[in-house]
């Protein structure tokens, strides 16, 4: 079955960088969209960055200019390059894929902690 495996989270100082990776395995119906979400304690889950069904990128206003989402279709991998991190970026980050048949897949989440 489908599995999304994330890596790259950790502890970093403000101003630093991290790159998250999400590797998909299993049989996934044609992909509609995909992206990275995050959730901090006491806050709603929010879309950070992703690809629309048309293939264009979409970013939350809070991360524009700092984060870059990319993918390598041959490796079934999606990335999130995070630069100029600040404590407000501290959250659990989740990989998500939405298939065209309506199914939705999530990774296990990876913790990103940014110290001030």
pLDDT tens digits for range 41-56 = 999 999 999 999 999 9
Dihedral sign of CA atoms 96, 43, 56, 85 in order: negative
Using CA atoms, how far apart are residues 31 and 102, in angstroms rounded to an integer?
A: 10
Residue 82 has pLDDT above 80, yes or no: yes
Residues whose CB falls within 8 Å of the CB of residue 42, separated by 6 or more in sequence, listed in order:
none
Return the pLDDT at 9.
98
Return the pLDDT at 22.
97
Residue 24 has pLDDT above 90, yes or no: yes
Dihedral sign of CA atoms 25, 27, 32, 37 in order: negative
Return the pLDDT at 26.
86
What is the mean predicted confidence (pLDDT) over 80-85? 98
70 in Cβ contact with 54 (< 8 Å): no
Residue 27 has pLDDT above 90, yes or no: no
Residue 36 has pLDDT above 80, yes or no: yes
Judged by average pLDDT, the poorest of 25-34, 86-95, 102-111 is 25-34
Q: Count of alpha carbons within 13 Å of 104, Cβ hemisphere only? A: 3
Rounded to 5 degrees, what angle do the CA atoms 23, 81, 105 make?
35
């Amino acid at each position: 079955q489908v599995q999304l495996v994330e890596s790259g989270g950790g502890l970093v100082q403000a101003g630093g960088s991290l790159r998250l990776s999400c590797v998909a395995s299993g049989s996934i119906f044609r992909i509609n969209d995909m992206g990275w979400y995050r959730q901090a304690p006491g806050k709603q889950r929010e879309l950070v960055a992703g690809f629309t069904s048309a293939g264009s990128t979409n970013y939350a206003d809070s991360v524009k200019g700092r984060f870059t989402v990319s993918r390598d279709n041959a490796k079934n991998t999606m990335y999130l390059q995070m630069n100029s991190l600040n404590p407000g970026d501290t959250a659990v980050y989740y990989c998500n894929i939405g298939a065209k048949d309506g199914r939705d897949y999530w990774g296990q989440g990876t913790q990103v902690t940014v110290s001030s």
